[in-house]
Amino acid sequence: MNKINSLFTTRGNKKFLSLYFCAGSPTLEGTGDVIKTMQRRGIDFIEVGIPFSDPLADGPVIQTAATKALKNGMTLNTLFSQLKAIKDEVHIPLILMGYLNPILHYGIDRFCQSCADAGVSGMIIPDLPFDDYLNIVKPAADKYDLRVIMLITPETSDERIHFIDQHTDGFIYMVSSAAITGTQKSFDEQKQAYFRRIDAMNLRNPRMIGFGISNAQTLKAAQAGAAGAIIGSKFVTLLDEANGNADLALDRLFEALSK
Which DSSP category does 74 fall into? -
Choosing from 58, 165, 169, 240, which is the catalytic residue? 58
Cis before 26? omega within 30 = yes
Compute the distance between CA of residue 258 and CA of residue 202 in angstroms, rounded to an integer.
Answer: 30
C-alpha–C-alpha distance, residues 28 and 70, integer Å: 9
d(CA 18, CA 228): 8
Find the catalytic residue in 44, 47, 169, 240.
Answer: 47
Residue 148's SS3 state is strand
Task: Confirm whether 58 is a catalytic residue.
Answer: yes
d(CA 121, CA 141) in angstroms, rounded, equals 10
Phi, psi torsion values for 47, nearest 5 degrees: -100, 120
The residues that bridge with 207 in the sheet, in sequence order, are 172
Please give the distance of CA 137 from its chain centroid, rounded to a whole number.
Answer: 18
Q: Which residues does the annotation mark as catalytic?
A: 47, 58
